[in-house]
């Protein structure tokens, strides 16, 4: 994407572009050494997905939250609450 100056990574960017444009559900694991550019690749993929009209929901695992149950699930679902107007108030209030 133009706003990021990315050196190399053509193969990874191509793979993520295909993932984003894929009509079926797919998953990809991006892993590598610290600072190797994982977050940058994911930022580009998220921008591409947004440009294609997809809703992008991001969750980030942090060590300090490992003791919080469902912290990741909460990050994923909280932005979707407004799409569920029929949710029982008691269910909606669960945090």
Ligand X SMILES: Nc1ncnc2c1ncn2[C@@H]1O[C@H](COP(=O)(O)OP(=O)(O)OP(=O)(O)O)[C@@H](O)[C@H]1O
Residue 6 binds to ligand X (criterion: CB under 6 A): yes
Closest CA to 14 of 52, 56, 37, 48: 48
Closest CA to 48 of 4, 95, 9, 87: 4
CB of 30 to ligand X, least distance (A): 8
Q: Which is nearer to ligand X, 35 or 86 (CB)?
A: 35
Residue 7 binds to ligand X (criterion: CB under 6 A): yes
Binder of ligand X out of 19, 28, 40, 46 (CB under 6 A): 40
């Amino acid at each position: 994407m133009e706003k990021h100056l990315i050196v190399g990574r053509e193969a990874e960017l191509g793979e993520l572009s295909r993932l984003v444009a894929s009509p079926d559900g797919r998953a990809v694991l991006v892993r590598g050494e610290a600072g190797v550019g994982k977050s940058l690749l994911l930022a580009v993929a998220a921008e591409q997905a947004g440009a294609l009209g997809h809703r992008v929901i991001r969750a980030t695992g942090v060590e300090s939250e490992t003791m919080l149950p469902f912290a990741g699930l909460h990050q994923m679902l909280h932005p979707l609450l407004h799409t569920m107007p029929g949710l029982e108030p008691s269910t909606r209030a669960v945090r």
